[in-house]
Structure formats: structure tokens, C-alpha cells
Chains A and B, each alone.
Chain A
């Protein structure tokens, strides 16, 4: 089983809203990732968690706040987003930071 699940599938939010994206995997993977993907572009890495600790932040604005409550869950908290933050947000996981990554279906976010 190489399934990574993400909720919600779609999200529309205003610039003053606070919302959260959720990612879950039950493969025993110890590395989890957030990516952002704009239309017709490849995914761009945002954050990497390894063994529930933030190991990489690719200079992401503070309006995006990741959280890893346990080894199976990864959240991305959103606050005061801008319309240009509208994109497909992808979660991925891997056995550890050095192994192949498996992606979830993504959350399509629209910021109005």
C-alpha cells in the first residue's frame, strides 16, 4: 500500500480566513513533505519533516505553518493567504529522507 491521503480535496478561502490542510499516511514512513504546484508547472518543495521534526523549510512565507502531530499526520496551517497562493498543495511521504517519495492526490486551494 503506497497511499497518501489528503483532505480536503478542494478549499476556497478568503484572505482573512484561517484554514488547515491535512495529510495522512499509514506506510510507516518517517519523512513527510509539503509541495506547492501551480498550473502547468512541476511541484515546488515547501517543507520536509523527518522523524516528526522540521528538517527543511524552503524559505516559505510565515503565512504557511506546518505541523507534524505524529509520524502518520502532517498538517499545513494557512492564515492571511494571498490570491497568488492559489495552487494544488501536495503532500508526499517516504521511508526516510533518502528514499523515494510517494505523493497524495493534493488539495486544490483557491484564495479569493
Chain B
């Protein structure tokens, strides 16, 4: 079993839809939870970062963490074609002073006009 599971998609939605992206994890030591967005042939861009259970909102994006269920989500409201990208969840725990990122497989999202 992988430490972090993420459905690779692809996920195709119409413009304006609400998108829900999800990851589950098995390591209860994970403390930090991130979502990165990666456009084709570009580096990952940090979208959201949280370290506690609950919701965190930034514009059209909401990150949700449920540590009791070991489940994190990213919601995108009013999705736009420019949101078409691969979304990588990542999580980490500090061990020996080092915060190693464990990535999910990434979900490819296509938002069509």
C-alpha cells in the first residue's frame, strides 16, 4: 500500500463546475499537507499549505484536512480553463529535522469551455 493514494484521473469538467480532488494517506505521523499545481512541462507551484484539520480558503480554492479519516481534499469553485493542470497532493512529517515530502500520483484536470 502506498503512503499516499491519489486518483490520477483524468478528470474532465465543464467551465464553472466545482471540482473536488482527494487524497488518502496511511501514515498518521504526517503533520503538513500541501497541494501543488503543475502545468504541462512546468515545475510544481504551491497552492495551499496547512498543518491542522479543518478548512483553509484562498480565493476559489479550499483545502480540507480530516486527520481522523486520513483524508485531504482540494475544492476549486467556478473552475476555469486556466485551472487545467495536474494537481499533486503532498504531505510530510518532520523526522531527524527533515521534512520529507511524500507526493500523491497527481490528478490531471481538464476544464473545458
Contacts and interface: CB of A to CB of B under 8 A. Distances in A.
Contacts of B32: 100
Contact residues of B: prevailing secondary structure = strand
Nearest to B88: A42
Contacts of A40: 8, 106
Nearest to B41: A108
A102 interface: yes
B60 interface: no
Interface stretch (B13-21, B42-50, B61-69, B73-81): B42-50
Interface residues of B, number: 22
Contact of A42 (B42, B49, B97, B106): B106
B71 interface: no
A94 B32 CA distance: 14
Contact of A104 (B43, B88, B97): B43
Interface in B38-58: 41-46, 49
Given A103-B44, A103-B45, A98 B98 contact: yes
Nearest to B49: A100
Contact of A98 (B42, B88, B99): B99
A106 B43 contact: yes
B102 to A, nearest CB: 9
Interface residues on A, range: 20 to 34
A56 B98 contact: yes
Interface in A19-66: 40-43, 45, 48, 50, 55-56
Contacts of A45: 100-101
Interface of B: 8, 32, 34, 36, 41-46, 49, 88, 94, 97-101, 103-106
